[in-house]
Each structure stands twice: as structure tokens, then as C-alpha cells.
């Protein structure tokens, strides 16, 4: 009898982010996205949040040495093909992640500079913005700021049009990021346009703007979907295009869920649950 063929290795991605006890954003959204896109998800927990669809009531940060221990445990055993970074609320946590990723350099890194939850709660200390800018931006293959986050990273006003979005993307490249996806979800108009700004030019990703209050976890979900595409070996622009289609479908289907009394989650399994 011939031995059974060895199954192909499933792509592995790791999310380094905070937990959302409500299940719609953070680590939970990232792992749901990885699963929906056929990627095995590992995780490094940077903080616990007491959170639901109406807001964040408490944050408990993981000690930096425990963040380091999680990073080492994951990378020492698993063949990680992509990294997604989300909520890092304090400078010490940012430095721990940067040091760990420099030690385990290799897979592409997608950095979502999470600063404010959909409910309006602050998730990043003001003192940590400069640390994020100097420690993690130069390590990132892609950063995915929304319009307020891009403005905060550059200490300037929020972009009001695509020309300003492109200019801010180019300014973030100058800070060391290899590519920038400036997300236009906070803008206005019939389309929500994201701009992928790289040293080689700009790619435009439009999608119809969906009228829904259920947008909790959109940034986490988009960045983890990009990381999933990179884990599958897609080039960056193709990974962004696939992720944009996925998040657009998840937002469009969000009202099919009835979760919570505030800003509900997007539908991570919209293509699988019928």
C-alpha cells in the first residue's frame, strides 16, 4: 500500500493585535478573516479590551515581555508567511513588537495603525504615535491608515480629496514605509476610494459606499485580508484588490447580522453562510 500523499501546507499568518471581547474587531476579526480566506491564523495578544458594539470600557495591556514571549513562541515553530499588526496602545508594546519582528525578519508585514475604535474610543496613547512612526513604519511592507490616522501620523490636517490622499501617502513613504494604502472610508461621496501609494506609482481601488451603521472592525478586517493574500503568495496589488473585494462584500452583508445595539460587525463569512 502506498503511503498517503502529504497534504500541501496551509498558509499561516499571524496577527499581533488587541482582543475585542465583543468579537467584531481586533484579534477576533483577524482570525475570522484568515479562516474565511483559507489561511491558518496564529495570534500574539497585545491587549485585552472590555468592548462591545457601543464602545470600549477598559483596556488591559499585556506586559512587553509577554508580547515578546508570544512572538518567539509563534515564529520558533510555525512557518509564518505574513504578519498583520493592529492595536498597540503603548510605546513599550510597540518597541517589543519591533524588536521581535527584527529578530524574526522574513515574512511581509501589514501595519494597521489603529488609533480610534468605530465607537470613538481612543486605542492609542498620544505618546505612542511617535514610537509607532519611528519603530514600526520602517519595518512595514504596507501600512493601511484611514484618513484620520494618516493625518495623525503626519501631524497635519485630514485629506479632503484624492490628490491630498496621494500626497499624504507619499509623505508616509518618506518616513520609511514601503507602501501605503490610504483608506477613504471616512470621506464622502458615492464611492469609497482607497489609494495604494508605492514608489512605483498609485493604484486606485474604488467601491460603492454602503449605507450601514454596521462597520465595526472594517480596518482590522481589510488589513488582515491583505495579509491573507500575501500569505497565499499574491503580489501586493493583487492582495489589496482581493481584500478590497472581500471587505466590500462583508460590509454589504453586515445588515444580515443582528449583533449588538451599536455599531455592529461586518459579516466575515458572507461568502460562506449563504
Burial string for 146-166 (b: 16+ CB within 10 Å, else e) reads: bbebbbbbbeeebbeeeebbb
Does 187 qualify as catalytic in the annotation? no
Nearest 5 degrees, angle CA 42-CA 178-CA 72? 30
Instruction: Give me the residue label for grid cell 454596521.
Output: 214
In which band, very low, low, confident or very high, does the pLDDT at 118 lie, cut at 50, 70 and 90?
Answer: low
DSSP-derived pairing of the beta strands 12-20 and 55-61: unpaired
pLDDT in tens, 21-54: 999 999 999 999 999 999 999 999 999 999 999 9
Question: Using DSSP, how many helices (H) and how many strands (E) does the chain show?
Answer: 8, 9
Give the contacts of 70 (CB within 8 A, at least 6 positions apart): 43, 44, 45
pLDDT of residue 191: 83
| Per-residue pLDDT at 126 exceeds 80 | no
In which band, very low, low, confident or very high, does the pLDDT at 128 lie, cut at 50, 70 and 90?
Answer: confident
Give the contacts of 77 (CB within 8 A, at least 6 positions apart): none
Among 53, 144, 215, 221, the active-site one is 215
Among 15, 187, 198, 220, the active-site one is 220
Does 264 qualify as catalytic in the annotation? no
Across the chain, mean pLDDT equals: 92
Query: Is 65 part of a structural domain of the chain?
Result: yes
What's the rounded Cα separation, in Å, for the pair 130 and 13? 27
In which band, very low, low, confident or very high, does the pLDDT at 122 lie, cut at 50, 70 and 90?
Answer: low
Residues 119-132 have a mean pLDDT of 73
What's the rounded Cα separation, in Å, for the pair 122 and 16? 18
pLDDT of residue 81: 98
pLDDT of residue 114: 83
pLDDT in tens, 184-239: 976 667 788 999 999 999 999 998 888 899 999 999 999 999 999 999 999 999 99
The three grid cell numbers given for residue 3, joined into one nine-digit string: 503511503
Query: Is 147 part of a structural domain of the chain?
Result: yes
Partners of 181 in the β-ladder: 196
pLDDT of residue 37: 98
pLDDT of residue 226: 98
Among 41, 169, 219, 264, the active-site one is 219
In which band, very low, low, confident or very high, does the pLDDT at 261 lie, cut at 50, 70 and 90?
Answer: very high
Query: Is 104 part of a structural domain of the chain?
Result: yes
54: phi then psi, degrees, rounded to nearest 5: -100, -15
pLDDT of residue 57: 92
| Per-residue pLDDT at 116 exceeds 80 | no
Inter-residue contact 118 to 214 (CB < 8 Å): no
How many other β-carbons are positioned within 10 Å of the β-carbon of residue 64? 19
Does 215 qualify as catalytic in the annotation? yes
The residue segments making up the domain with residue 192 are 12-256
Structural domain count of the chain: 1
The three grid cell numbers given for residue 110, joined into one nine-digit string: 501589514
Partners of 18 in the β-ladder: 47
How many other β-carbons are positioned within 10 Å of the β-carbon of residue 102? 10
Residue 4 vs residue 31, higher pLDDT? 31
pLDDT in tens, 146-170: 999 999 899 999 999 999 999 999 9
Instruction: Give me the residue label for grid cell 461621496.
Output: 189
In which band, very low, low, confident or very high, does the pLDDT at 119 lie, cut at 50, 70 and 90?
Answer: low
pLDDT in tens, 60-115: 999 999 999 999 999 999 999 999 999 998 999 999 999 999 999 899 999 999 87
Does 185 qualify as catalytic in the annotation? no
Domain CATH number, residue 44 = 3.40.1190.20
> Going edge to edge, which strands form the sheet with 12-20?
55-61, 40-52, 12-20, 80-85, 109-111, 142-143, 180-182, 191-198, 201-208
Query: Is 180 part of a structural domain of the chain?
Result: yes
In which band, very low, low, confident or very high, does the pLDDT at 120 lie, cut at 50, 70 and 90?
Answer: low
3-class secondary-structure state, position 173: helix
Does 220 qualify as catalytic in the annotation? yes
Inter-residue contact 103 to 109 (CB < 8 Å): no
Query: Is 196 part of a structural domain of the chain?
Result: yes
pLDDT of residue 1: 44
Query: Is 117 part of a structural domain of the chain?
Result: yes
Nearest 5 degrees, angle CA 112-CA 233-CA 252? 55
Query: Is 144 part of a structural domain of the chain?
Result: yes
Among 131, 183, 198, 221, the active-site one is 183
pLDDT of residue 142: 98
Does 24 qualify as catalytic in the annotation? no
What's the rounded Cα separation, in Å, for the pair 146 and 186? 7
Among 53, 198, 218, 221, the active-site one is 218
pLDDT of residue 61: 94
pLDDT of residue 252: 93
Query: Is 131 part of a structural domain of the chain?
Result: yes
Check: pTM over 0.85? Answer yes or no. Answer: yes
Amino acid at each position: 500500500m502506498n503511503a498517503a500523499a502529504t497534504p500541501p501546507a496551509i498558509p499561516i499568518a499571524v496577527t499581533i493585535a488587541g482582543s475585542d471581547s465583543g468579537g467584531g474587531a481586533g484579534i477576533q476579526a483577524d482570525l475570522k478573516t484568515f479562516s474565511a480566506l483559507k489561511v491558518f491564523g496564529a495570534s500574539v495578544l497585545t491587549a485585552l479590551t472590555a468592548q462591545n458594539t457601543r464602545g470600549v470600557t477598559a483596556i488591559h495591556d499585556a506586559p512587553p515581555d509577554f508580547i515578546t514571549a508570544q512572538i518567539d513562541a509563534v515564529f520558533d515553530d510555525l512557518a509564518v508567511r505574513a504578519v498583520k499588526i493592529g492595536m498597540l496602545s503603548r510605546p513599550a508594546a510597540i518597541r517589543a513588537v519591533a524588536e521581535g519582528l527584527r529578530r524574526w525578519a522574513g515574512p511581509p508585514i501589514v501595519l494597521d495603525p489603529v488609533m480610534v475604535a468605530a465607537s470613538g474610543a481612543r486605542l492609542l496613547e498620544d505618546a505612542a504615535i511617535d514610537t509607532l512612526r519611528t519603530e514600526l513604519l520602517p519595518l512595514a511592507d504596507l501600512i493601511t491608515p484611514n484618513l484620520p490616522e494618516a493625518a495623525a501620523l503626519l501631524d497635519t490636517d485630514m485629506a479632503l480629496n484624492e490628490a491630498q490622499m496621494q500626497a499624504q501617502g507619499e509623505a508616509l513613504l518618506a518616513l520609511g514605509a514601503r507602501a501605503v494604502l490610504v483608506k477613504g472610508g471616512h470621506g464622502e461621496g458615492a464611492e469609497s476610494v482607497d489609494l495604494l501609494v508605492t514608489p512605483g506609482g498609485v493604484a486606485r481601488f474604488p467601491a460603492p459606499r454602503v449605507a450601514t451603521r454596521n462597520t465595526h472592525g472594517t480596518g482590522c478586517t481589510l488589513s488582515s485580508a491583505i495579509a491573507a493574500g500575501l500569505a497565499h503568495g499574491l503580489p501586493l496589488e493583487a492582495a489589496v484588490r482581493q481584500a478590497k473585494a472581500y471587505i466590500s462584500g462583508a460590509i454589504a452583508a453586515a445588515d444580515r447580522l443582528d449583533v449588538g445595539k451599536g455599531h455592529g460587525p461586518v459579516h466575515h463569512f458572507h461568502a460562506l453562510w449563504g
